Amino acid sequence: MTLPPETLPDDWTDLTEAWTGAPQDEHPLDAGLVRALRRRDRLAHLNFVAEIGGGVLVLGAMGWAMARGLPLPAASAALAFVLFALGMTLWSRRGDPGLLTDTPEAVLRSALGQARTGYRWALSGVAISLAAMIFLIVMMTSVQPGPGPTGSVIAGVSILLVVCIGFYLRHARQCRRRMAAHQAALDALTDSEAVPGIATKPTPGGSLT
């Protein structure tokens, strides 16, 4: 799993207040925040292509290794791991609404969809990291070990995977906060449009930070 674009801005407070505080049909579109939303969408697509491409490359490498005499248990474990990782990657992208920026409501719905996709991406990263630990153990015990301590290699990679799991869990918490904030702002915007002439301010949890 590749890393998400953490450097993109998540502060939507000013835009939310402008939308929910403006009269009906006068909600402005903030060009800077819309551009940030588009950048996040492009990076998410690049991330998805990289993960799918990496999985295909691993499948090719596994076929080459099998032709060179890779033991069947190791080949089976590699195939199961790669297919599982590809399946989780596809699952993390399911239900992606795409990018819509024609109205403030559409922008908020797109931001909410991005947060939900990021949350599933983090959960799939945790699952893939755990599967990688199992895969590593099978590979190290099935393939004839070369020079060097096998246990140290397993321990080192396992520590790296634990760090990755911690990163994914942190990202999942961030996405859950964004999901709640985007949903609250969307509800506030919908309420302000439902009652003409009445400006509804977002709730404290509705500031998109």
pLDDT at position 71 over 60: yes
Angstrom distance (rounded) from CA 200 to CA 124? 37
Dihedral of alpha carbons 73, 141, 51, 123, sign: positive
pLDDT at position 181 over 80: yes
Q: Residue 143: what pLDDT?
A: 63
- Collapsing DSSP to helix, strand or coil, 90 comes out as helix
∠ CA 170-174-177 to the nearest 5 degrees? 140
Which pLDDT band holds residue 142 (cuts at 50, 70, 90)?
low
Which pLDDT band holds residue 158 (cuts at 50, 70, 90)?
confident
Tens-digit pLDDT profile for residues 24-38: 444 556 677 778 788
Cβ density class 146-162: b for 16+ within 10 Å, e for less: eeeeeeeebeeeeeebe
Q: Residue 25: what pLDDT?
A: 47
∠ CA 17-20-22 to the nearest 5 degrees? 95
pLDDT at position 66 over 60: yes
